[in-house]
Amino acid sequence: MVYLLIILVNMSVKVNITSKGIQKVLKNYNERQAIAEYIWNGFDANANTIHVDYVSNPLGLLTELKIADNGYGINFDRLTQKFEPFFESEKSIQIVAPKHTSKMHGRNGVGRLTFFTFAHDAVWHTTYQSEQGFHNGEIRIDTGGLNNYSSDFSTVPSHTGTTGTTVSFTNLKISQQDIETIVLPFLINEFCWFIELNKHKNYAIIVNGEALDFSSNIKSIEEFKLVYPDTAVTFKIKYVHWKENLHKELSKYYFLAGGEEIYKDYTTLNKKSDDYFHSVYIDSDFFRDFDFKSFENEGQVAIFGAAKSSAEYRFLIKALAEYLKSKRKPFLKEYANNLIQSYEQDGIFPVYASEREKELRKPPLVNLIKALYEIEPKLFGSLNTDQKKAIVRLIDLLMCANLHDKIFEMFKGMIELDAEEEHELFQLINDLK
């Protein structure tokens, strides 16, 4: 078989990007986010292992940084799609987490330009496979010409090789300390949920030869099964309570079939204005032909497979909602104690005229605030110091005047509560009478 030689050496191409677009990226990205995007690019290319290797000099400054993946590489025939149409609008500059699937996290090649946040030069060495064989190529960009790239894919295809891409960064602006104290902790929070999602595929991020330890962000983890009694449909559940936030991913349900992600969506406790960060992985053959686009109140039965209106799905979501609430309660008790400590330090509580008055009024006030927080953290979220003082002192005055019904009406009007939460709040305040 005769292979054609691709005559393309040091080709220079201008990327479709404006100065305004570059300035926008400079404003929105830092070194942590940029390095994370190169790792996402590798996973988007079907890699299961990403290597991050760096070398520093005696002063602690980085002299070399490489991010390598074993994905399918960058196909030269699609090079212009990967490196030219970076920005069609300002909105495309923003990289957002996918809403209902974890596949293809990157968008429009935006991450490929963000190296200027931590380095002056970037070189992509890539190998991809076509019907003719394995192709090797190189792409170069520097911060002096972010709207241009040069490429060289002039080698003859070979019969052997492995696909993948290595991006080498030089003339670096960051130090070893930046990597170890800022970047790596960020990567743990960014990818912990994704590595857990793909644990059965042995996904890993290797830093200087050692696997990044994502367990450092795990507060607790539990595995159990839920079985719908009428049809014996079984759901394998893995619950993970994270110590710190998951950046743009937030708290979600991941629906899998045979270990493969089918769909994901926010949990019922995702937007509760507290720091209860969690992921729930649900694996069942029930989801193989599941219609996730249907609505829960839909009476129509799916033609193929099941839908959100099915009894099994309703059973699952209800059981998980109750489970998450039970897990959240002790967490909120802990944070309620932290809230009281911060209120003490910040001088939020009233100053009483005498120790006797303080002994009579402060303990029930503290207990009520803790209990209110446990019911709904939103009540005390995003308040400034003056607002905190005003609410706490108003509660204190209403309690002193035995106007407990007014406390209930006040909080009921401040936030949205479901029927169960409203009943719990009413009982709590009524018990104080």
**Structure confidence by residue, pLDDT tens digits, 387-426:** 999 989 998 998 888 887 888 888 777 766 777 777 877 7
Residues 374 and 308 in one domain: no
Q: How many domains does the chain have?
A: 3
Look up the domain containing 86 and give its range. Answer: 11-211
What integer pLDDT is reported at residue 273 of this predicted model? Answer: 58
The rounded percent of the chain whose pLDDT value lies above 90 is 53
**Structure confidence by residue, pLDDT tens digits, 183-227:** 999 999 999 999 999 999 999 999 999 999 999 999 999 999 999
Q: What is the CATH number of the domain that holds 26?
A: 3.30.565.10
What is the mean predicted confidence (pLDDT) over 23-46?
A: 85
Boundary (domain end) residue, out of 186, 211, 236 = 211
Instruction: State which H helix or E strand residue 225 sits in.
Output: strand 218-228
What is the mean predicted confidence (pLDDT) over 292-319?
A: 73
Tell me, what amino acid is at 263?
A: Y
What integer pLDDT is reported at residue 94 of this predicted model? Answer: 52
Residue 338 lies in a domain: no
What integer pLDDT is reported at residue 8 of this predicted model? Answer: 42
DSSP code string of 48-75: SEEEEEEEE-TTSBEEEEEEEE-S----
**Structure confidence by residue, pLDDT tens digits, 64-109:** 999 999 999 988 877 766 666 454 434 444 555 567 888 766 654 5
Residue 43 pLDDT level (bands cut at 50, 70, 90):
very high
Residue 334 lies in a domain: no
Contact status, residue 163 vs residue 76, Cβ threshold 8 Å:
no
Residue 159 pLDDT level (bands cut at 50, 70, 90):
confident
What angle do the packed helices 355-375 and 419-430 form, to 10 degrees? 160
Residue 253 lies in a domain: yes
Beta strands in 104-163 (DSSP E): 119-130, 133-142, 148-152
What integer pLDDT is reported at residue 146 of this predicted model? Answer: 73
Residue 330 lies in a domain: no
**Structure confidence by residue, pLDDT tens digits, 277-297:** 999 999 999 999 898 876 544
Of the candidates 225, 259, 258, the one whose C-alpha atom is nearest the C-alpha of residue 239 is: 225
Task: At 396, list the tokens.
Answer: 């204190």
Least confident of 40-54, 93-107, 262-276, 305-319: 93-107
